[in-house]
Amino acid sequence: MTGELMARSWRPGDEDAFTPRADFLKAANLQPFNDETARRTLAYTLVRDTEPEVVLGIAGLTCIEPDGWRLWARTADLRPREWAQAGVLTGHVLDWFHRTLPQARVSASAADAVSRRYLEALGFVLLDGDEMGLDGAIYRILERAA
């Protein structure tokens, strides 16, 4: 056991095994994670490699249209080092995804400059236009091509 952040396949109940950050709970790109969403999602779970395992969040890619997917995440309040590790793990997931489905487009939304820089570091570029979230906030849309 290293205590490092790791990704594993999502299992039912993982979404209830941690307390999400408040800003993630109200974000526009997060729908309730239920059986319907799970059928359209490639989800993974972020865990701290300890005994017992500690679930720190869930993330995934949800199919929103043919060849169109949305990247999302719901996490606990991570430490700075864990954010960096989560970025590396997400980059690996995105690389695998684009090797598997090379024509797919992946979009994500950012509510603030920190989120935008995080997504840009993963290869996302800002698209024209914004979307208004259910919470009334304006979200910038970014996209990552293969």
Q: Say how many CA atoms lie within 13 Å of 12 toward its Cβ.
A: 6
Tell me, yes or no, if the pTM score tops 0.85: no
Tell me what pLDDT residue 28 has: 44
Tell me what pLDDT residue 95 has: 92
**Domain residue ranges in the chain:** 5-144
User: Between these two residues, 24 and 42, which has the higher pLDDT value?
Assistant: 42
Report the percent of the chain where pLDDT is more than 70: 78
CATH no. for 5-144 = 3.40.630.30
Mean pLDDT of 30-47: 76
**Residue 71: enclosing H or E segment and its boundaries?**
strand 68-75
CB 45 within 8 A of CB 58: yes
Under the banding of pLDDT at 50, 70 and 90, the label for residue 20 is confident
Tell me what pLDDT residue 85 has: 92
